[in-house]
Structure 1
Amino acid sequence: MKIDLPNIQDQQRFIYEEATKEAIAQLKANLMAPEYPAQDLVDESLYSRAHLLRESEGWEAPAPEIVKAYFRHFQNYFSDYGTDAKLAVLLGITGGGNDRRIRAFKDGSKKTPYGIWRRFLVLTGRVPQEIIPVMGFMR
């Protein structure tokens, strides 16, 4: 009995293609996410909007008041992430004390890093997800 298997490169390409199809499906599903009222915990007009930009566009870390308002607003609607520890996990912050890091972002003792903030903005539909072009398959 002979079993013909694709070579490793063909297998890797298949996996890549399937993951891309899943990503496209998720992007389409994202367009159907429910809408929620705007946050009213802080007057955003008093703050710079640079926290909504990409790094290459002049991004600045959000003011702690913005962080606190956005996080609280999110947690009010998504009770599964109602604790700082659970919100931290959602944002990719792992390890002990992850809840302390969230609190530090909210009280301003630590600036919120770009990657964590950008993920939150994408999760809340405030900015589009960035799609990075593939320049070529390097083997």
Structure 2
Amino acid sequence: MALGWKLVIDSGDASALADFWAAALGYEVEDPSALIEQLLAAGRIGAEAVAEHRGRKTFRGYAAIRHPDDPFDQASGVGQGRRMLFQDVPEGKSGKNRLHIDIHSEPGGLDDLVTRLEGLGATRVLEQDKGPAGHWWVMQDPEGNEFCAA
């Protein structure tokens, strides 16, 4: 039986990093505001657990994005398919990522993809040309996490 999963990324500003990756991948930022309202009304969480981002209530220190074509729970806003969760941690990034995301451009569209990602806050780090494997860029997101654009 296949297992469900989500990719969890440690961050310094979960909401801002979720915004970057949602724009980079064409994903949707999850809206947990209805769930938060329910939890607040039931006394299951306090106001200190809640923040506001772009006019919506969010869980302080957490944000998630989901693929726009995948199902999601209407009551909670939580995706039930491909999704990424960002969680704030006190320590900063200290070394090279051991796991990273590759973003694939349309054929012949690498330059446009890299330019768009830079416009969102990404940084080019290293251009790669590996013969039959092709040409790609190692890049960093706004918090320094490495990823590849190919």
Q: Which protein, 1 or 2, shows the higher relative CO under an 8 Å CA cutoff with sep ≥ 6?
A: 2
| TM-score in terms of structure 2 length | 0.24
When Rg is computed on C-alpha atoms for both structures, the one with the higher figure is 1
More helix by share: 1
| TM-score in terms of structure 1 length | 0.25
